[in-house]
Amino acid sequence: MAKDKITTESRDLLAKVSDVSTETEYFSPIPAGYKKGKCRYVIVMGTVMSGLGKGIFSSCLAKLMQDKGLKVSPIKLEGYLNIDSGTLNPFRHGEVFVLDDGMECDMDLGTYERMLDQNLSGSNFSTSGQIYSSVLRKERHGDYLGRDVQMIPHVTGEVKLELRRLAMNSEADIVFVEIGGTAGDLENAFYIEAMRELAYEEGPGSCCFVGLTYILEPKTLGEQKSKAAQLGIKQLMQMGIQPDIIACRADNPVSEQVRQKISVFSNVPFERVFSMHDSSSIYMIPSMLRDCGIDFQVLRLLKIDDRINLRLERKAWAQWCDFTDKIGKEDRQITIGITGKYTSVRDSYASIINALEHAGIALGCKVGIKWIETTEVTDDNAAEHLGDVDGIIVPGGFGVRGTEGKIACIKFARENGLPFLGLCLGFQMAVIEFARNVCGIKDANSTEIEPDCEHGVIDILPEQKKLEGLGGNMRLGGRDIEMKKGTVAWDMFNRQAQVRMRFRHRYEVDPEYIEALESAGVVFSGKAPNQPIMQIMEIPEHPFFMSTQAHPELTSRPMVSQPMFIGLAASSMKRRYPKDDLQGSVDAAKSVCV
């Protein structure tokens, strides 16, 4: 009893500590107005290896909670020292996902946005660089009152402060915390320690810890082995974390015997050791979690059963099942070529892959992908690379490598009626290709690629920099696009006067060349409101020739497809099945577009 009393008094004391004092070792900054116990935390950590699907598990579990009427807010904690993901090479880290507020972040934020159908912000993403920068700013300002600033309690305190701010500002019932990498990574140690402290400070029933591990199945042995998983979980336990749930990633369903071993070794009840094996689509994972009862296990652990709305859940789940029931039942198939320079790493184009899947499901058509490395493509061999695809996407990218190959792909698509969708750099390459081969401006180029070119049809413009007030920085985040009436794009977006998409670029179409381009047949069907910044380009006479300076793939959602991807997939279907009447499928798909 005496021990329980001391523990309770300790928690009460540090719940009151919101400013710094040299008189106590309890230091845990708490934002004004924060109410302990109102929000719960689900914390997902990895073991064995990274890239196993922590974001997928976390977002799927968050969706199940959201369906029950609970308000959820995710956050990804990254161990690297970069302030954001903007400078990371796609070969090393996958795509850079851009939020509406302009934050450049990890691709897992895209998984959360798609699964939760929710726009996130910079408060849902943090890096070690952000945490350290904040601590050092406070130290320089004298906020620590002369205390020696340490990893514990100051850096860990800053992490907890971020989580509590998110909980309070989002008014979330549950904050889902995903820690990047694995428990063995040195750069993640302070995050994991912060989570241990958070659970202690918030009290029993406040936090649910999930350990995501990997079950090996060597082909030479022909059986599943759990030793690596056991050792990874042991690392978590040595750091003071007792997992409440173990999610076992594997190629095939994890056997009962292996789950029993994991349960005994980790002190986790057998019913909370979950097999998260490979699935035909990540959108089937919520059903796997629900069938195993993991959602209600979490509710009981967090003691918030009384907050759920079962009537809302039945309705939300019925809608989700209507969507997932279409997966794998497509009666047609098309192939889309993705012509880029990061094609060896599929995560570089994660949002494009998802957007194509969404469009295919909406149209009742399976969308296959052919990866085409553009550094190998020329005018002479473009037909060889593109002859067996039904449409192409020329995606974004930076730098010179592969740009001439992208131009060759666009030329082939324009001249042969091949459905084409250009994204960001793909939009710029389409302008250059048209300027060269239709307008006769033979040396047309981008000043990013050739700084001293005579005809920089793509350029950084002084008047645009003045308008945007961004100097040489990129235009980032959500921007409104003014649509031109009577165009293909205007009709595609259900004849809206304005639409919103996300951007990540520096270079624009030089207004000096707009008249020449339009006279030759280009239509700029979307532009920045009140500014000479072209944002959507089309060729009306072509079966489907559409490109945009934006990244429309970032806003595609499972049950609300992005119109440009619907347009590309529908046109590709008509090319593959010219005798079929597809209008009914196309109209049905357009009715659920963004």
So which residues are the catalytic ones?
424, 551, 553
Reduced to 3 states (helix: H, G, I; strand: E, B; else coil), residue 393 is strand
262 touches 290 (CB < 8 A): no
352 closest CA partner among 548, 217, 198, 167? 548
68 closest CA partner among 293, 305, 274, 283? 305
Q: Tokens in use for 345?
A: 């790493």
- Residues, the chain: 594
Helix/strand/coil percentages in the chain, nearest 5: 45, 20, 35
Q: CA angle 566-570-573, nearest 5°? A: 145
Q: Tokens in use for 188?
A: 């993640």
* Alpha carbons 1 and 534: distance in angstroms, whole number: 71
* Alpha carbons 231 and 247: distance in angstroms, whole number: 15
234 closest CA partner among 178, 180, 184? 184
The alpha-helical segments, DSSP class H, found in 330-461 are 350-363, 382-386, 403-416, 425-437
* Alpha carbons 73 and 175: distance in angstroms, whole number: 5
Cβ-proximal residues to 403 (8 Å cutoff; 6+ apart), any chain: 374, 425, 429, 446, 449
Q: Tokens in use for 258?
A: 């292996």
User: What secondary structure letter does DSSP report for 477?
Assistant: E
571 touches 586 (CB < 8 A): no
121 closest CA partner among 96, 95, 97, 100? 100
499 touches 481 (CB < 8 A): yes
Q: CA angle 458-353-574, nearest 5°? A: 85
* Alpha carbons 78 and 164: distance in angstroms, whole number: 17
Give DSSP secondary structure letters for 220-240.
TTTS-B-HHHHHHHHHHHHTT
576 closest CA partner among 532, 535, 543, 550? 543
- Rounded-to-10 torsion of CA 452, 453, 458, 463: 50
* Alpha carbons 406 and 373: distance in angstroms, whole number: 9
First to last CA, the chain: 58
